[in-house]
């Protein structure tokens, strides 16, 4: 395309004044029909106003010498004439520098700025211009058929070529170009005439010999040439109507180049067309004027055809969007009118845009039935008045629908080693629980998903059920959400309210999805064994649809009223007592029991987890305090006997809070002036001295007033600076001797109330929601007389325990009759049986054998073997039935120092699965008949009778 460089220095300095004689001499040329037609194209009605400046002189009408002399006459005083009189004629240049043109050829009469990256070539151009030889050859670069590089890469590669390689990449026919200006690496060229390369002269920079080409002779009066040129002009007129830029090209060309003739007309048409460089090169190489006109006409016709196609496409698109645009304009006008009239109380369009912005990123992932509901509600929102109650209902409904993570899933991580590391970091022990979780993750890795199971972690409080659920989420790289259903009695909390109610909300599960932002979180349902049941329905039944993997793929919330896929959600439930969970709900879960911790495990947990975290939370450094093993052991045995470690953590926090206070007080009293007078002054004087020393020496690092002074901020700053220096305070030692100073007197004494149990007293083992515990069964004779045999029960006993006591009384009478048939104890004695274990309700079938032994001990006046504890239920025939909670009961026995245990034979498998450290040092007997218990319990009495 033509570059109209009117601001270049050459054009600014070449101001040509046309005289009357000059215009008169050219009047015949400007008045020809051909030029009148061209002027009609340009819109120029006064040919005398046209200034003619010839930058190239290959016209057959005007010779180069005439052009040069005309320039000299008009501007004899100008030092910046483009073609000075001393300059050589273009015909004299038979050797020129070869300039590669990467994009388009240069046509005679046109400007072209190029960038010369080759420093040698640029220096040669500057030198040529200094030697009054400002001409070079501009040749188009051939396409490299074997390369698919971009234009910038091609241009870069061209400047890397030298000599013969570069010559082979250039077209033979180019243009003699005048070097108009050089600014940096930008060179402005003006095309003059066609050249043909004959041979190479030098390689770097490339210099070639050229022949100057002239157009083949033609007949100006030939009708075919005239008709072709008129068609070119007519096509040019149509082209110029489409763009003002091309019209400027014509005017600039005419002002600076001169009048058109047939060859120039053909060059101009090809130059302004948008054709590719090879087609333009073909026009440049054509010396036959008629053929050149034909080629230029083809390019212009193609340009017009492209423009017509463009117009048809634009028209089709305009017709397609006209309806939507019209509706948009009308809606905007309606908005403006409503705004002016004050009818628009809420910006519904902004709300609609907000909702659509939410769903647009995941539009393809949203199910079709949900997308249909969203579209219907959006249309409904536009029709509702902002002040109506239904408007707020619809807006809230859309807010929930669009805020849910439709189809957004977090990437799961099924790395078993990584999960093992996280579980070990967060929890000590629990080997069987960790193994089961790792099995679950391994199955998920093989299946590609971890759905299909609902895990229920059951165990006493404080054993880490909730934190295990959090660790599973961390190991699987899932979002974690917890909600507790303890005491929940409203079904709407799970399945949502109807939208017609005031303050209606979706259920907990929908709130969870909105909160976490993914459709596959890990949801921890806490305290599922404490679900309530009220007038608003049965929540446990509503949980069935939520947890059942066969149903929750189409979970229906009452508020949303559209099915939601919850099959990707991993549910983990926690419970203290599995027995209180409804059967249908329990059937859908996989129970993973978590028993309490023994003393050794508590020691590790306290040392490796609780103490470290508490120390960091209190800001105490490890070198400032030492808690001995004996202190921790005493803390566990005398203060924190629970199955879990939550109470142990509270006591450790209590210790470290007192240590923190002690360290701060030591740091406050470490000032030398205070220490010197400490023995002779009261505590009030000491405080006053510390305050005065702080005011007197503000630069001191250790002086600080007490916290009850007015300068409280300064005190806190000084205290913090004191504690930063471990040497400023003495190390605090916590051992068994001073443990009571930190946590008070021991809460528990030995669970064993007797070293040797008296007559009628037997130690049993019980399981509660808080874990295992020892349980004494006491029996005493209340009244004796013939026919007064009876049984009186006391203690927090449930129906099951009462029935066990009645059965035990009957079985004990039968055994006594078999062992000592002459003993009428039960027939003539009223017996009182008591279970002294506080106010904790006890109701479980595991104390039958203990009650029988207690009754027989009283009836036979025999002591039970020392360090013996037993558990098990006995039938009327004397068979011992299995019980639950073997691990908890074993831990309780170890805590009480009992060495000999009696379990039902059916529980041997449960005992074998316990960890070795739990079973270590215990003498365990497994029985299936009470007679075996009798032999074990009264073994010492047998030995005495033998002696």
Q: What pLDDT was estimated at residue 414?
A: 84
Q: What pLDDT was estimated at residue 945?
A: 41
Count of the separate structural domains present in the chain: 6
Q: d(Cα 65, Cα 71) in Å, to the nearest integer?
A: 10
Q: Is residue 244 part of a domain?
A: yes
Q: Is residue 787 part of a domain?
A: yes
Q: d(Cα 166, Cα 561) in Å, to the nearest integer?
A: 75
Q: What pLDDT was estimated at residue 720?
A: 44
Q: Which residues pair with 778 in a beta bridge?
A: 761, 834
Phi/psi at 709 (5° precision): -85, 170
Residues 134 and 12 in one domain: yes
Here the tokens at position 44 are: 């120029």
CB 659 within 8 A of CB 618: yes
Q: Is residue 129 part of a domain?
A: yes
Sorted by sequence, the CB contacts under 8 Å of residue 173 that are 6+ apart come out as 139, 194, 195, 196, 197, 213, 281, 284, 285
Q: Which residues pair with 765 in a beta bridge?
A: 774
Specify the pairing of strand 590-593 against strand 455-458.
Answer: parallel
Place of tokens 């009571």: 740
Q: What pLDDT was estimated at residue 722?
A: 45
Residues 583 and 623 in one domain: no
CB 721 within 8 A of CB 617: no
Which among 902, 875, 667 is positioned nearest to 763, based on CA atoms? 902
Task: List Cα–Cα distances, 356 to 350, 352, 510, in angstroms.
Answer: 10, 6, 20
Q: What is the CATH number of the domain that holds 631?
A: 1.10.8.60
Q: d(Cα 698, Cα 641) in Å, to the nearest integer?
A: 50
Residues 512 and 374 in one domain: no
Q: d(Cα 666, Cα 730) in Å, to the nearest integer?
A: 8
Cis-peptide into 205, omega within 30 deg: yes
Q: Is residue 754 part of a domain?
A: no
Helix ranges restricted to H, 861-907:
886-895
Q: What is the dihedral of CA 287, 291, 292, 294, to 10 degrees?
A: 180
Residue finishing a domain among 573, 593, 613: 593
Q: What is the CATH number of the domain that holds 138?
A: 2.30.130.40
Task: List Cα–Cα distances, 900 to 591, 601, 858, in angstroms.
Answer: 30, 22, 21
Q: Is residue 786 part of a domain?
A: yes
Sorted by sequence, the CB contacts under 8 Å of residue 727 that are 6+ apart come out as none
Residues 101 and 174 in one domain: yes
DSSP string, 243-283: -HHHHHHHHHHHHHH-S--HHHHHHHHHHHS---HHHHHHH
Among residues 59, 229, 471, 846, the one annotated as catalytic is 846
Q: What pLDDT was estimated at residue 232?
A: 79
461 is in an annotated binding site: yes
Here the tokens at position 864 are: 């039970």
Here the tokens at position 232 are: 């070119």
Residue finishing a domain among 338, 373, 392: 338
448 is in an annotated binding site: no
Among residues 348, 602, 842, 889, the one annotated as catalytic is 889
Q: What is the DSSP letter of 729?
A: S
Which among 138, 135, 139, 212 is positioned nearest to 178, based on CA atoms? 135
Q: d(Cα 626, Cα 170) in Å, to the nearest integer?
A: 88
Q: Which residues pair with 160 in a beta bridge?
A: none
Q: Beta-carbon neighbour count of residue 78 at 10 Å?
A: 15
Residues 581 and 615 in one domain: no
Residues 286 and 361 in one domain: no
Specify the pairing of strand 480-484 against strand 455-458.
Answer: unpaired
459 is in an annotated binding site: yes
Which among 445, 465, 464, 447 is positioned nearest to 455, based on CA atoms? 465
Q: Is residue 677 part of a domain?
A: no
Mapped onto helix, strand or coil, the DSSP state of residue 468 is helix
Q: d(Cα 898, Cα 917) in Å, to the nearest integer?
A: 15
Q: Is residue 49 part of a domain?
A: yes
Residue finishing a domain among 593, 622, 649: 593
Residues 471 and 369 in one domain: no
Catalytic, 731? Answer no
Which among 843, 835, 876, 865 is positioned nearest to 933, based on CA atoms? 865
Q: Return the beta strands (E) in 807-927 as ranges.
A: 829-834, 868-870, 873-874, 880-881, 900-904, 923-927
Residues 535 and 637 in one domain: no
CB 721 within 8 A of CB 652: no
- Mean pLDDT of successive 10-residue stretches along the chain, which has 947 residues: 33 30 36 51 40 34 36 34 49 78 82 82 82 81 62 62 79 84 83 83 82 81 79 77 63 58 76 75 78 81 81 81 79 78 65 84 85 88 80 88 87 86 84 84 81 82 88 88 86 86 87 90 90 76 84 86 87 88 86 82 87 89 88 86 86 91 79 46 44 38 38 43 50 87 79 73 79 83 83 85 89 88 86 76 78 91 88 88 84 82 90 83 90 83 42
737 is in an annotated binding site: no
Here the tokens at position 760 are: 């009628």
Here the tokens at position 8 are: 């270049």
Residues 210 and 240 in one domain: no
CB 629 within 8 A of CB 493: no
Residues 261 and 210 in one domain: no
Q: What is the CATH number of the domain that holds 286?
A: 1.20.58.1480
The whole domain housing 44 covers: 2-214
Catalytic, 846? Answer yes
Residues 807 and 738 in one domain: no
Q: d(Cα 694, Cα 668) in Å, to the nearest integer?
A: 11
Residues 333 and 351 in one domain: no
Q: d(Cα 852, Cα 876) in Å, to the nearest integer?
A: 11
Q: Is residue 283 part of a domain?
A: yes
Which among 696, 694, 732, 697 is positioned nearest to 712, based on CA atoms? 694
667 is in an annotated binding site: no
Q: What pLDDT was estimated at residue 47?
A: 37
Q: What pLDDT was estimated at residue 573?
A: 92
């Amino acid at each position: 395309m033509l570059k109209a460089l009117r601001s270049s220095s050459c054009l600014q300095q070449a101001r040509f004044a046309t005289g009357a004689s000059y215009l008169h001499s050219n009047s015949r040329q400007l008045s020809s029909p051909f030029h009148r037609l061209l002027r009609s194209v340009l819109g120029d009605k006064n040919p005398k106003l046209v200034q003619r400046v010839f930058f190239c002189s290959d016209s057959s009408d005007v010779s180069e010498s005439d052009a040069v002399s005309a320039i000299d006459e008009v501007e004899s005083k100008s030092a910046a004439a483009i073609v000075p009189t001393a300059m050589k004629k273009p015909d004299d240049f038979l050797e020129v520098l070869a300039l590669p043109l990467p994009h388009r050829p240069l046509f005679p009469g046109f400007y072209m700025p190029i960038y010369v990256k080759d420093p040698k070539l640029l220096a040669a151009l500057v030198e040529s211009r200094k030697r009054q030889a400002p001409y070079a050859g501009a040749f188009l670069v051939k396409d490299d058929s074997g390369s698919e590089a971009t234009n910038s890469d091609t241009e870069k590669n061209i400047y890397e070529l030298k000599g013969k390689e570069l010559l082979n990449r250039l077209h033979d026919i180019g243009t003699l170009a005048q070097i108009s200006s050089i600014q940096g690496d930008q060179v402005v060229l003006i095309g003059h005439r066609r050249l043909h390369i004959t041979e190479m002269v030098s390689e770097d920079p490339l210099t070639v010999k050229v022949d100057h080409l002239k157009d083949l002779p033609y007949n100006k009066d030939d009708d075919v040439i005239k008709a072709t040129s008129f068609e070119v002009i007519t096509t040019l007129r149509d082209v110029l109507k489409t763009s003002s830029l091309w019209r400027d090209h014509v005017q600039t060309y005419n002002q600076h180049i001169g009048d058109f003739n047939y060859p120039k007309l053909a060059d101009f048409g090809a130059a302004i067309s948008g054709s590719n460089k090879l087609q333009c090169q073909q026009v440049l190489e054509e010396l036959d004027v008629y053929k050149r006109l034909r080629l230029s006409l083809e390019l212009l016709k193609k340009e017009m055809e492209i423009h017509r196609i463009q117009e048809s496409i634009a028209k089709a698109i305009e017709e397609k969007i006209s309806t939507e645009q019209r509706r948009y304009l009308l809606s905007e006008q309606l908005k403006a009118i409503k705004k002016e009239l004050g009818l628009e109380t809420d910006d519904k369009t902004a709300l609609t845009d907000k909702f659509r912005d939410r769903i647009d990123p995941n539009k393809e992932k949203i199910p079709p039935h949900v997308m249909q509901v969203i579209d219907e509600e959006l249309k409904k929102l536009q029709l509702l008045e902002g002040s109506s109650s239904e408007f707020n209902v619809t807006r809230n409904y859309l807010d929930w629908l669009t805020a849910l993570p439709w189809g957004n899933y977090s990437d799961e991580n099924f790395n078993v080693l990584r999960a093992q590391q996280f579980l070990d970091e967060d929890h000590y022990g629990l080997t069987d629980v960790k193994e089961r979780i790792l099995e679950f993750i391994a199955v998920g890795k093989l299946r590609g998903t971890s759905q299909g199971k609902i895990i229920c972690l059951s165990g006493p409080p404080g054993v880490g059920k909730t934190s295990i659920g959090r660790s599973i989420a961390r190991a699987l790289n899932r979002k974690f959400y917890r909600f507790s259903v303890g005491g929940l009695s409203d079904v709407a909390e799970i399945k949502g309210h109807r939208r017609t109610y005031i303050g209606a909300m979706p259920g907990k599960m929908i709130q969870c999805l909105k909160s976490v932002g993914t459709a596959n979180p890990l949801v921890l349902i806490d305290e599922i064994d404490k679900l309530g049941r009220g007038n608003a329905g049965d929540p446990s039944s509503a949980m069935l649809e939520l947890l059942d993997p066969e149903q929750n793929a189409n979970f229906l919330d009452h508020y949303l009223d559209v099915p939601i896929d919850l099959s990707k959600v991993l549910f983990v439930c926690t419970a203290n007592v599995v027995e209180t969970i409804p059967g249908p709900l329990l059937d859908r879960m996989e129970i993973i029991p978590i028993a309490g911790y023994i003393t050794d495990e508590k020691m590790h947990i306290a040392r490796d987890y609780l103490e470290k975290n508490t120390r960091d939370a209190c800001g105490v450094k490890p070198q400032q305090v030492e808690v001995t093993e004996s202190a921790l052991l005493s803390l566990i045995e005398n203060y924190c006997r629970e199955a879990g470690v939550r109470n142990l953590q509270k006591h450790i926090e209590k210790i470290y809070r007192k240590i923190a206070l002690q360290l701060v007080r030591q740091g406050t009293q470490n000032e030398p002036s205070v220490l010197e007078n400490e023995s002779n002054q009261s505590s009030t004087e000491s405080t006053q001295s510390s305050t005065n020393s702080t005011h007197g020496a503000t630069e001191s690092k250790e002086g600080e007033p007490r916290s009850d002074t007015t300068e409280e901020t300064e005190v806190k700053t000084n205290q913090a600076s004191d504690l930063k220096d471990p040497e400023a305070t003495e190390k605090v030692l916590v051992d068994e001797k001073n443990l009571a100073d930190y946590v008070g007197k021991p809460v528990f004494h030995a669970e064993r109330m007797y070293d040797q149990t008296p007559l009628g007293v037997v130690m049993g083992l019980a399981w509660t929601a808080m874990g295992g515990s020892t349980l004494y069964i006491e029996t005493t004779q209340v009244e004796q007389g013939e026919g007064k045999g009876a049984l009186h029960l006391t203690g927090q006993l449930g129906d099951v325990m009462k029935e066990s006591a009645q059965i035990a009384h009957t079985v004990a009478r039968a055994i006594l009759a078999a062992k000592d048939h002459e003993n009428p104890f039960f027939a003539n004695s009223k017996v009182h049986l008591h279970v002294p274990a506080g106010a904790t309700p006890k109701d479980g079938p595991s104390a039958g054998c203990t009650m029988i032994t207690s009754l027989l001990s009283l009836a036979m006046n025999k002591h039970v073997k020392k360090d013996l504890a037993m558990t098990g239920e006995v039938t009327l025939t004397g068979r011992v039935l299995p019980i639950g909670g073997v691990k908890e009961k074993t831990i309780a026995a170890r805590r009480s120092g009992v060495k000999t245990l009696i379990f039902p034979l059916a529980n041997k498998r449960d005992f074998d699965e316990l960890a070795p450290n739990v079973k270590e040092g215990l003498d365990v007997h497994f029985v299936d008949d009470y007679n075996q218990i009798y032999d074990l319990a009264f073994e010492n009495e047998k030995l005495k009778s033998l002696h």
